[in-house]
Chains A and B, each alone.
Chain A
Amino acid sequence: MKSVLKNGSPVLATLVLLSAWEAAVRALRVPEYVLPGPSRVLESLVVHAGPIASHTAATLEATMLGFSLSVVLGLTLGLLSGLSESFQRAIYPMLVAFNTIPKVAIVPVLVIWFGIGKVPAILTASLISFFPVFVNVSTALVTTEPELRDMLLSLGATRAQILIKVGLPRSMPYFFGSLKIASTLAFVGAIISETVASNEGVGYLMIAASSRFDVPLLFAGLLVISAISVILYAVFVLLERRLAGWAFRPPG
């Protein structure tokens, strides 16, 4: 019973929230164009399943491409700044400054450069999500124990060897931690761009729905986005356990 409660608690909590929502909407007679109940959202999801699926696929594609770009970018910058203190000093302020820019403000620029469509979505996704990867990887490399570095140097190791033998394996838990954040951020980036400048994707679908006051469809879009983020997150947790499992010790 206890283990059922423990494993089923996320499902249970979700169900409780949805029921409360449904009950509140019905009891208070909230109009559908303000807040539809979950049952209505689900209905919309089923009715519009075809378009929702194709738009979701478009968003997912932009997200994954953007995310891959951000991993490459974040990993490269992180490795370089972990290796060279002067490089890190040089680029850190710039990257922090860039990271604070609301990415929605960048979309118009990307549209001017690349036109409306997929490319701005991919780029926004990668620009919004590379920063955590960069910060985590560079932090992991910089915090390598000085004793380990001394030992390796005294054995005649090169910088590249130190990176491969110690730096990279050591940074894996940090890297996967950042992937969990970056993957959901990439989603946000792609959808932001789609709401502003695209004719496909969940973001576009939601803007279109909102202009038609189709609030149930709007919520169906939100539901799909949340579901996919959770799945993505779970995928990276799984990868993390596989590839950096050593960092997780059994309790006790």
Chain B
Amino acid sequence: MIELRGVSFGYPVRRNDGKDHQLVLDDVSMRIDAGSFVSVVGPSGCGKTTLLKLIAGLLRPLKGEIVYGGSNGPDSRPLIGMAFQNAVLLPWRTVLENVIFPLEVVKRWRSELRRRRHEFVERALALLRSVGLEEYAHRMPWELSGGMQQRVSLCRALIHEPDVLLLDEPFGALDMLTREELWSVLQDLWIERRCTVVMVTHDLREAVFLSDTIYVLGGRPATVIGCVTVSYPRPRPLDVCYRDDFVRATRDLRDLLERSSPKVVT
């Protein structure tokens, strides 16, 4: 479990009266149960990515604390996997080498890399197989389409068996059909592993389709303005998106977001 208790964060800015912080997140509290799929939605630029970086431990909160697994302290930080809107694969490595990459870095695996290389390659191939890309294992990243690269990026985020998977608008750059296809791919991967997922997105349908819990961020600086639980049984078929209650849930989220952010005249 990950718990955010009154977390505030701001980036340093230089003001006339000396150094200060421009608050981005203000008093954010969240409870992310182990093994659950949590989404964070909110208008763009509201600090969703910052929130992920805080959870990843890349940034320290100005106020409040983030507690991992009930205990506190730097040692208790869970193993993290990340995927972003851009796949950011390493262009000098093949697809397979890209997927294995985290195993060369994470301490737990690095020391065993030489001895268990064969096993790791098998593991990476199995992951690629589960996203339908096994035959592309020895291709270079630029030979793959955007959707395929994003699948590879997901495999890379999972290969080291992270406790927490952090996704920053992972399908934001894809066309709608590819995006919906990858929702199912991601759901399958998650059902198989049951790691904790925190996904930031501005696609409300995506959030409702994939999540157990959705936190809505709003305001400036952003804070939690709503929390929605989705309890469709898993695995959810794509048809679920067309059910009345699904549409209603999406619209409720939309209303919530619209109320919280002042109208911008365009």
Residues of A at under 8 Å CB distance from B?
Answer: 145, 147-148, 150-157, 161, 165-166, 169-170, 172, 244, 246-247, 249
How many Å lie between the Cα of A156 and that of B102 in the bound state?
10
Indicate whether B133 reaches chain A with its CB closer than 8 angstroms.
Answer: no
Chain B residues whose C-beta falls within 8 Å of the C-beta of A166 in the assembled complex? 90
* Nearest chain A CB to B52 CB, angstrom units: 9
Chain B residues whose C-beta falls within 8 Å of the C-beta of A150 in the assembled complex? 53, 56, 58, 82, 84
Interface pair A147/B105, CB less than 8 Å apart: no
Indicate whether B172 reaches chain A with its CB closer than 8 angstroms.
Answer: no
Indicate whether B222 reaches chain A with its CB closer than 8 angstroms.
Answer: no
Interface pair A156/B53, CB less than 8 Å apart: no
Interface pair B82/A151, CB less than 8 Å apart: yes
Interface pair A147/B91, CB less than 8 Å apart: no
Interface pair A156/B107, CB less than 8 Å apart: yes
Interface pair A246/B105, CB less than 8 Å apart: no
* Nearest chain B CB to A244 CB, angstrom units: 8
Known pairs A156-B105, A157-B105, A165-B104; A151 contacts B88 (CB<8 A): yes
Interface pair A169/B86, CB less than 8 Å apart: no
Interface pair B56/A152, CB less than 8 Å apart: no
Known pairs A154-B56, A154-B57, A249-B142; A147 contacts B88 (CB<8 A): yes
Known pairs A165-B104, A249-B142; A154 contacts B90 (CB<8 A): no
Nearest-CB residue, chain B, relative to A151: B82
Known pairs A154-B57, A154-B58, A165-B104; A147 contacts B84 (CB<8 A): yes
How many Å lie between the Cα of A150 and that of B50 in the bound state?
12
Chain B residues whose C-beta falls within 8 Å of the C-beta of A145 in the assembled complex? 86, 88
Which 8 interchain pairs have the tightest Cβ spacing? A246-B92, A147-B84, A154-B56, A154-B80, A155-B105, A147-B88, A151-B82, A157-B105
14 A-B pairs (CB sep. < 8 Å): A145-B88, A147-B168, A148-B88, A154-B56, A154-B57, A154-B58, A155-B106, A161-B105, A165-B101, A169-B92, A170-B90, A246-B92, A247-B91, A249-B142
Indicate whether B48 reaches chain A with its CB closer than 8 angstroms.
Answer: no
Indicate whether B160 reaches chain A with its CB closer than 8 angstroms.
Answer: yes
How many Å lie between the Cα of A148 and that of B107 in the bound state?
18
Nearest-CB residue, chain B, relative to A157: B105
Chain A residues whose C-beta falls within 8 Å of the C-beta of B81 in the assembled complex? 154
Could you tell me how many residues of chain B have their Cβ less than 8 Å away from some Cβ of chain A? 24
Known pairs A151-B82, A154-B56; A165 contacts B105 (CB<8 A): yes
A-B contact count (CB 8 A): 53
How many Å lie between the Cα of A150 and that of B84 in the bound state?
10
**Contact residues, B203-218 vs A (CB, 8 A):** none
Interface pair A153/B58, CB less than 8 Å apart: yes
How many Å lie between the Cα of A123 and that of B88 in the bound state?
41
Chain A residues whose C-beta falls within 8 Å of the C-beta of B140 in the assembled complex? 246
Chain A residues whose C-beta falls within 8 Å of the C-beta of B91 in the assembled complex? 246-247
How many Å lie between the Cα of A169 and that of B106 in the bound state?
19
How many Å lie between the Cα of A247 and that of B91 in the bound state?
7
Chain A residues whose C-beta falls within 8 Å of the C-beta of B92 in the assembled complex? 169-170, 172, 244, 246-247
Nearest-CB residue, chain B, relative to A247: B91
Nearest-CB residue, chain B, relative to A172: B92
Interface pair B82/A169, CB less than 8 Å apart: no
* Nearest chain A CB to B2 CB, angstrom units: 14
Interface pair B86/A147, CB less than 8 Å apart: yes
* Nearest chain A CB to B112 CB, angstrom units: 15
Task: List 6 extra interface pairs beyond A147-B82, A244-B92, CB under 8 A.
Answer: A150-B84, A154-B58, A156-B105, A161-B105, A172-B92, A246-B91
How many Å lie between the Cα of A155 and that of B156 in the bound state?
12
**Chain B 86-113 interface 0/1 with A at a Cβ cutoff of 8 Å (1 = within):** 1010111000000001101111000000
* Nearest chain A CB to B173 CB, angstrom units: 12
Nearest-CB residue, chain B, relative to A150: B58
Chain B residues whose C-beta falls within 8 Å of the C-beta of A157 in the assembled complex? 105
Known pairs A148-B88, A246-B91; A154 contacts B142 (CB<8 A): no
Interface pair A156/B106, CB less than 8 Å apart: yes
* Nearest chain A CB to B211 CB, angstrom units: 22
Interface pair B107/A154, CB less than 8 Å apart: no
* Nearest chain A CB to B149 CB, angstrom units: 13
How many Å lie between the Cα of A156 and that of B57 in the bound state?
10
Chain B residues whose C-beta falls within 8 Å of the C-beta of A169 in the assembled complex? 90, 92
**Contact residues, B50-75 vs A (CB, 8 A):** 53, 56-58
How many Å lie between the Cα of A185 and that of B56 in the bound state?
47
Chain A residues whose C-beta falls within 8 Å of the C-beta of B86 in the assembled complex? 145, 147
